[in-house]
Structure 1
Amino acid sequence: MNRDKLRVSGERGIRMGGWSQGVVLEGKKWLKNPLYLFFLVLPLFIMVLFAVVWPLAERLVASRWGFDLQPYRSWLGLAMLYMIPQLLGMPLGFRLLEEKDQGTLGVFLVLPRGAGWYVGMLLLGLAGLSVLFVLGLMPLILAPHLRGWSWGVHGLAAGMAGLETCIFAMCISALARDKVEGMTVGKGLSLVTMLPLLVFLVPGRFSGIDVVWLAGLTPWFWPAALLLLDLPGPEWIWWVTGFGVHGIWLGGLLRRELNRIGRGL
């Protein structure tokens, strides 16, 4: 598909209703694709599992074997805080790979708002879902166990999870060439992004400020650090730093991908 055909297609899209129709069509694509739908529904299933099954398991284990599972809620809950961005970011990464493979993202480059607007709307939609899932999940499993938990911390952690959803998706789109590679990259990224949970298992090893600055170069370090570690100085500085690292990563990945799309025309 050459530039002239893309321009004609884009202009026709504007005359036929433009972006509102595009949003509706995009939603239908997500709901009709079993893989995408699976990843969208799975976080809801996890929330129900924790809300209903886990308290029953705690009482059963305590009554039969005298073992208290409640302290482990924070570890499992934090794992879910990392897993939700992965589960929602993976299908979005696949969607971007599909668009690039078909060349349809190039159509948006000839529209007034550009491909950046379209990709941004996809990222915003999935980030919003991630925030909603975390807002519903955290009070069920995390609140009694995290250092200094409050509704403010709750909301900040949800916002950070939304950014990590976008970063996860953009990493898949940047590192893979097709869906098969995307699945492999997604599995590898899932392991890498879960490494900060070591903060919970061996917190003493991660208390040094030098480790914080080194690991803090990656966005995935910050949720575990902010929710579990007693960092020196005012807490708001660390939250701002964590969000800043997320913003730098997301901005860099988004700019790189848009440049690649532009060169592909």
Structure 2
Amino acid sequence: MNWSAIPYDYKLLKGDPMLILSLLVPFILWALMHLLFPFLEVLVMKQWNVDISPYYRQTGIFFLMLIPMMMGMVYGFILLDERDGGIITAISVTPTGKFGYLKLRMGIPLFLSFVFIILFLFLLGLTGTLNILQLIVISLLISSQSLILLLLLGAFADNKVIGMAISKGFGILLMGPLLGFALPAPYNWSGAYSPLFWASRSLLSDSQDTFWLYASITFLFHLFLVWILFRKFTARSD
């Protein structure tokens, strides 16, 4: 990965406080889970005699899904800025080419999402019974959600205003795992339209077979979406 792009990205981010705040989201989510959830646990038990501790892991996993969304939005907006500035067109005629540019732009949010997700899982005790290989696999799969949003913005957003609307609409995928957590069977399967539903099922799995089944569905789901959006983006950029 070409890390020389990081200082340039920082210069772009400095001019947009909203994007900087988006990069801080993983730390904010960690603080909410680490500090606020225990407080709410005591408060709810005291006020209503309801134990919410069984929902700690589901809440943490839901927050976890927000991380790649934020990374994808930040780098999707950087991509929009570079397209508007003619940078993508200029790079396409260099040895790096458009594909090399996209590898860089896709690689950074994928890597950042992966690092934050791994830290999130271990620091908040969300690993469950999964071994290290399973945690790496599912973290990579969830991280690839950042690529979907980045490519979605690049393929369909003409500017940041439209990009923000698309990012908000993208949040409908977050409803998938939420429906899976909140609704009783068989209605919880109504969230199966979202790849994040299958990713959350993998994280909550207690057996090897079900983990790899749900992880495989997550992989195929993401692969299909990334392939479609990648083709759409490259066709638009030609």
Q: TM-score range by the shorter chain?
A: 0.7 to 0.9
The question of whether the paired residues in 1 share the 8 Å contact of 2:44 and 2:51 is answered with yes
Matches of 1:65 and 1:139, distance apart in 2: 31
Query: What is the TM-score normalised by the length of structure 1?
Result: 0.76
State which structure, 1 or 2, has the greater radius of gyration over its C-alpha atoms: 1
Residue by residue over 1:22-55, the C-alpha shift from the partner in whole angstroms, topping out at 9 and shown as x without a partner, is: 5532333234431221110122111122122322
Distance 1:28 1:207 in 2: 44
Deviates more, 1:191-200 or 1:37-46: 191-200
Alignment of 1:1-265 (within 5 A): 22-63=5-46, 65-141=48-124, 143=126, 148-205=129-186, 215=192, 218-228=194-204, 235-262=211-238
Contact conserved, 1:58 with 1:70, CA < 8 A, in 2?
yes
How far did residue 140 of structure 1 move? Answer: 4.3
In structure 2, the gaps of 5 or more residues are none
Alpha-carbon spacing, 1:108–1:206, altered in 2? closer, same or farther (3 Å): farther
Secondary structure, aligned partner of 2:24: helix
**Pairwise CA distance, 1:159:** 1.0
Q: How far, CA to CA, are the matches of 1:231 and 1:172 in structure 2?
A: 37
| Cα deviation, residue 58, structure 1 | 2.2
Alpha carbons of structure 1 residues 21 and 223: separation in structure 2 relative to 1, 3 Å: closer
Task: Report how far residue 108 of structure 1 moved.
Answer: 0.9
Q: CA deviation at 1:238?
A: 3.6
Evaluate the alpha carbon distance shift between residue 72 and residue 257 of structure 1 in structure 2; reply closer, same or farther with a 3 A threshold.
Answer: same
Q: Are the aligned partners of 1:50 and 1:140 in contact in 2 as well (CA < 8 Å)?
A: no
Matched positions, count: 237
Over residues 120-166 of structure 1, what are the superposed CA-to-partner deviations in whole Å (9 max), with x where a residue is unaligned?
2122111111112111222344627x5x4444433222111210111
TM-score (norm 2): 0.84
Taking the aligned partners of 2:201 and 2:149, their CA distance within structure 1 comes to 19
SS in 1 for 2:185: helix
Over the matched positions of the two proteins, sequence identity in percent amounts to 26
Higher mean alpha-carbon deviation, 253-262 vs 35-44, is at 253-262
Q: Which runs of 5+ in 1 are unaligned?
A: 1-18
